[in-house]
Structure 1
Amino acid sequence: MSQTTQQAAEEVASTSAVASQQPDVLDQLMKPEIQQSLNVLVENLPKLAEMTTVLTKTYDLVQTVANDHVLINDLKGGMEEFVKPIQDKAKGIAQAAIEASDRSQAETSTTVGLFGLLKMLKDPQVQKALRFAQAFLEVTAERQQQQK
């Protein structure tokens, strides 16, 4: 019997709590800015429904893609195939730069004179580097002229 009395008291308390909240909600609804906001919401309901539909479809697609391990592995493999050649080339350039730095530091006793420089000018790699440097300087000069 005491349990039913206690349950009844709890129901009365929850009902009175709801009743005490209702005037607050009604008071809020009577404010002009709340009414204006509700009018804006009602006017934009079709747009909001459309946006909700698009967001739901997007969410479903993302969930499907995120849980598709085959697709994830395929994308990962494709990216690795794309990045690997670039990574290998960058490693090769970095290794060549380190080796060149080591060689230049080891040969501190030799100086490059005029005849050594003329001999170096016959090297195809030097010619290629000089052509690149010349083309690079021409391009930068043209861009500076366009900016003026």
Structure 2
Amino acid sequence: MSQTSTQEAALTSAPAAPQTDVLDQLMKPEVQQSLTVLVENLPKLAEMVTILTKTYDVVQNVVTDKVLIDDLKVGMEEFVKPIADKAKGVAAAAIEANDRTQAEASTIGLFGLLKMLKDPQVQQTLRFAQAFLEVLGERKNQNG
């Protein structure tokens, strides 16, 4: 019987120690100052928590909305597909051009070069190269 009362006394006194620690903490001036700051800023904190909660709800809805995710996926595929197709076309043209240069060993002379200069594709490439070099020169002058 005395054992039971001793255990009960130990159980009832155990929570008293943490309560005393909490009261000791509350008596410290820095804790009181921190609590004052928290109380003064409660309206702002409440507003921030409300905004964060709404943001969390929106993000949660977006992440779990399968229809929206599928629509975004389809939209991205429609955006990327033309770029990928064009890149594949350019790569195929580069490979074919490389194959042609490997198969043909003839030298391009002055008249061949003059004939090439009449080609619209060559003219467009030369205009692009000229404009590109001009832009690079302008940027170098601005930065340098």
TM-score in same-fold range (> 0.5)? yes
Pair 1:30-2:27 in alignment: yes
Pair 1:134-2:130 in alignment: yes
Give the equivalent residue in structure 1 for 2:54: 57
Residue 35 of structure 2 aligns to a residue whose secondary structure is helix
Distance 1:31 1:85 in 2: 67
Which TM-score applies when normalising by structure 1? 0.83
How far the C-alpha of 1:111 sits from its partner, in A, is: 2.2
* Root mean square deviation of aligned Cα: 2.2
Map 1:1-148 to 2 at 5 A.
9=7, 12-107=9-104, 109-148=105-144
Give the number of equivalent residue pairs: 141
Distance 1:34 1:13 in 2: 30
Gaps of 5+ in 2: none
Residue 111 of structure 1 aligns to a residue whose secondary structure is coil
Residue 144 of structure 1 aligns to a residue whose secondary structure is helix
How far the C-alpha of 1:14 sits from its partner, in A, is: 4.4
Gaps of 5+ in 1: none
* Percent of aligned pairs with the same amino acid: 75
Which TM-score applies when normalising by structure 2? 0.85
Q: Which stretch shifts more, 110-119 or 64-73?
A: 110-119
Distance 2:63 2:141 in 1: 50
